[in-house]
């Protein structure tokens, strides 16, 4: 699996990474995000791409080999990464919304931190 995220308005960094796949990609709707709260917060997740008319695209989780933990789930979306918002946030997806944020991708160690579509 190759993961490429360009530097963009959704995410300031850029990535080109390679992972050894341990399973197929599966569409995901929610992730448990730990960066803001050590207990984790359920967030909606979507992919984000460079299409100005329709930047929203599916987000996927795929089990990959991880040198430290044995395996992990990579959550990825479009060429502009993924976009997250708290599960309680009912606003439409919008790159200008300060209550939403972008990431290049996420690496999660446990399947219980994912909700599949």
pLDDT tens digits along 47-84 = 999 999 999 999 999 999 988 778 999 999 999 999 99
What's the pTM?
0.94
> How high is the pLDDT of residue 68?
78
The answer to whether the CB of 75 falls within 8 A of the CB of 114 is yes
DSSP state of 87: T
Q: Are 57 and 46 in contact (CB under 8 A)?
A: yes
């Amino acid at each position: 699996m190759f993961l490429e995220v360009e530097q963009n308005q959704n995410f300031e960094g850029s990535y080109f990474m390679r992972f050894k796949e341990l399973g197929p990609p599966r569409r995901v709707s929610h992730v448990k995000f730990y960066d803001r709260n050590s207990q984790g917060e359920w967030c909606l997740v979507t992919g984000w791409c460079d299409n100005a008319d329709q930047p929203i695209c599916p987000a996927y989780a795929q089990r990959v080999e991880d040198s430290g933990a044995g395996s992990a789930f990579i959550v990825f979306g479009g060429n502009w990464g993924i976009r997250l918002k708290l599960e309680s946030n009912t606003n439409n997806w919008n790159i200008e919304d300060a209550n939403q944020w972008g990431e290049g991708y996420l690496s999660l160690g446990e399947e219980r931190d994912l909700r599949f579509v």
